[in-house]
Amino acid sequence: MGNLPHTYGNDADCETLEITVEDKVAQLEIILSYTAFKEHAVLVRSAKVMNKSQGSVSIEKIMSLSLDFPTSDYDLVHLNGTWAREAQITRESILPGIKVLDSKRGASSHQQNPFFAIVDPYATEQQGEVFGFSLVYSGNFAAQIQMDAYNQLRLNLGINPFQFSWKLGPGKEFQTPEVVMVYSQNGLTGMSQQYHSIFRKHLLRGKHQKTERPVLINNWEATYFDFDESSLLQIVEEASSLGIELFVLDDGWFGKRNSDTEGLGDWIVNRDKFPEGLLSFTEKIRNKNMKFGLWVEPEMISEKSDLYSQHPDWCLQVEGRGKSLGRGQYVLDFSRKIVRDYIEVVLTNVFSEAQVDYVKWDMNRHITEAFSLEYPAEQQREIYHRYILGLYDLLDRLITKFPNILFESCSGGGGRFDPGMLYYMPQTWTSDNTDPVSRLKIQYGTSLVYPIITMGAHVSTSPNHQVGRMTSLEMRGAVALAGNLGYELNVVKMDGKEKNIIAKQVSFYKQHRNLIQFGDFYRILSPFEGNECSWMFVSEDKNEALIFYYKVLNQASEPLKILKMHGLDSEKNYYFEGEQMPVGGDELMNSGIYLPANINGDFKSIVWYVSTDKQY
């Protein structure tokens, strides 16, 4: 796969079929690759073009997948949204003509995830045929769903042909990204579990592939840019006493970065905030039995920065024309090796000196003026793709150099939540929106494709900074517990009762962390379809489970409601925590349990733990 991210496995895991198609006139070969995984209902498809001629050819459009169905009697399911409202599930009928889902932003985008599924019109979460398609790529993509005059269906998925071409010289080859195709006879949950499993086992890599994620606290919403070492150490002191394991220093620690309009590119510690440097600060954190994490945004450069004053040519731009500022910053030209080499050096210095355990890698604006001063006019339509290849190259160098660092990707939240990034960074900041009601839909939708262990989920303050909603700490915690738990608030300002609640949440999460991060995930009630949401986690041996139930708005005189569980063993008996009498798995799945009728107030949650072992 060259330097593209990809699924992997040994001979015991998978087998690959390659079909070579030859154009004798143009002297081109296309190798179509199909990899089948033995323990998964998964087929991975990609294509490679090889130029056997003596001249150059121009690739104007090349898809990773083209697949025909004899009928179009399906629904289309996809994930769309925007900043702070990612992964919204849309299900619609497939109609005559062409439907295009795409991104032209230089990243896979908040607006459309590089995934779609076609499903039986009667398929539910638990039953019916589902065909899923996920592109292992982080840049511009296009998915085309076409219903012709005979009700046949053609599906295409790959690099977006918008502003794309590729000059392929004699003897050169071009590799497309992979498409991971999943088949399920057991509805959308069956599809999701296949994706969760294949991505966990055959896409994530390195030390953190199978390692439990730490509970973290991030200072961003607690301080924004207004902090110094002393104020941060107060947060560290309180967080450590609550059992939190990792402190993440967010934006504002470097250069002259006191707002979001300056300093990007100057990756040197701000001595006004950290007089003794980051290593001294890190050592103080470790003395509190916590690890240290750091926020960076290496793909960007501020107009107000030393780096820009020295190298204005290093950002993407059209020569002789103006450049578009976004958030006071430009996009560095990662298609250029000199730029990537520089970023590698400065980040290596920072990560090594500060002995970093965790990195949050952000990208807060999308690409405009996708042109490079290094390439001739006839290759400018290569820049979108070359940028992504350059990013992958740099990430591969850094994770090779720092195998112990846990990298988390971010693009204003979920703006680049895709399998391509997960190949390098095994988790993603799911959304900048930490409101628990909003997060129900965001996390529910994201789980359609991505494993829970890849989803960052934080508890923030109330009222919420994104939507202004007031919710209880219990509700915020119950939503964040269903991901990689973190906190993004100032624990110093909390009272004793609130700190006690956080300490209990952290303890509970640590007790059940392995189940949440590696268990089988089942969606039960959809927040897209009503006032409630429910999901659950079941261990591989089916001996324990966690069931989450959320109610958004309370209603007067509601009828009795039953919640039926999924994924348990019908032959086993389960004990609810604190209960003496067992309940059969068959009863819990077929008859269910009554939901409490005396839930008072809005934004409420319940978490049940059940186990085959009697707990009391």
Supply 320's token pair: 């002789």
DSSP structural state of residue 445: H
Check whether 614 has a pLDDT greater than 90: no
Model pLDDT, residue 16: 98
Check whether 615 has a pLDDT greater than 80: no
Check whether 224 has a pLDDT greater than 90: yes
Chain-centre distance of CA 52, in angstroms? 39
Residues 130, 142: Cα–Cα separation, whole Å? 20
Identity (one letter) of the amino acid at 556? A
Supply 534's token pair: 């429910």
Contact criterion met (CB below 8 Å) for 603 and 613: no
Check whether 23 has a pLDDT greater than 90: yes
Nearest Cα residue to 449 out of 426, 484, 474, 419: 419
pLDDT digits (tens, 9 = 90+) for 474-521: 999 999 999 999 999 999 999 999 999 999 999 999 999 999 999 999
Residues 286, 507: Cα–Cα separation, whole Å? 20
Model pLDDT, residue 613: 93
Check whether 616 has a pLDDT greater than 70: no
pLDDT digits (tens, 9 = 90+) for 365-419: 999 999 999 999 999 999 999 999 999 999 999 999 999 999 999 999 999 999 9
Q: Round the average pLDDT of the chain to a whole number and report it.
A: 97
What percent of the chain clears pLDDT 90, i.e. is strictly above it? 96
Q: What is the DSSP string of 307-342?
A: HHHH-GGGB---TTS----BTTEEEB-TTSHHHHHH
What average pLDDT does the segment 16-33 reach?
Answer: 97
Vertex 535, ends 489 and 79: CA angle to 5°? 80
Model pLDDT, residue 566: 98
Query: Residue 102: helix, strand or coil by DSSP?
Result: strand
Catalytic residue, chosen from 251, 266, 357, 432, is 432
Residues 301, 261: Cα–Cα separation, whole Å? 10
> What is the number of residues in the chain?
616
What percent of the chain clears pLDDT 70, i.e. is strictly above it? 100
147 to each of 6, 122, 615, how far by Cα in Å? 30, 19, 56
Check whether 204 has a pLDDT greater than 80: yes
What average pLDDT does the segment 588-611 reach?
Answer: 94
pLDDT digits (tens, 9 = 90+) for 267-293: 999 999 999 999 999 999 999 999 999
pLDDT digits (tens, 9 = 90+) for 341-360: 999 999 999 999 999 999 99
Contact criterion met (CB below 8 Å) for 325 and 316: no
Model pLDDT, residue 578: 85
Residues 331, 388: Cα–Cα separation, whole Å? 12
Give the position of tokens 């199978």.
210
Supply 279's token pair: 């290593």
Assessment of whether the complete model's pTM goes beyond 0.85: yes
Check whether 1 has a pLDDT greater than 80: no
Vertex 420, ends 417 and 425: CA angle to 5°? 75
Model pLDDT, residue 299: 98
Classify burial at 92, counting beta carbons within 10 Å of its beta carbon; exposed 0-12, middle 13-18, buried 19 or more: exposed
Is the bond leading into 463 cis (omega within 30 degrees of zero)? Answer: yes
Q: Is 102 a catalytic residue?
A: no
Q: Is 362 a catalytic residue?
A: yes
Under the banding of pLDDT at 50, 70 and 90, the label for residue 21 is very high
Contact criterion met (CB below 8 Å) for 103 and 129: no
The Cβ of residue 15 has, within 10 Å, a number of other Cβ atoms equal to 12
Nearest Cα residue to 145 out of 102, 181, 86: 102
Give every CB contact of residue 245 below 8 A, 6+ residues apart in sequence.
214, 215, 216, 289, 290, 291
pLDDT digits (tens, 9 = 90+) for 437-480: 999 999 999 999 999 999 999 999 999 999 999 999 999 999 99
Residues 417, 442: Cα–Cα separation, whole Å? 12
Model pLDDT, residue 382: 98
- Residue 452 phi, psi (nearest 5): -60, -35
Which regions of 268-412 does DSSP assign to beta strands (E)?
291-296, 300-302, 329-331, 358-361, 406-409
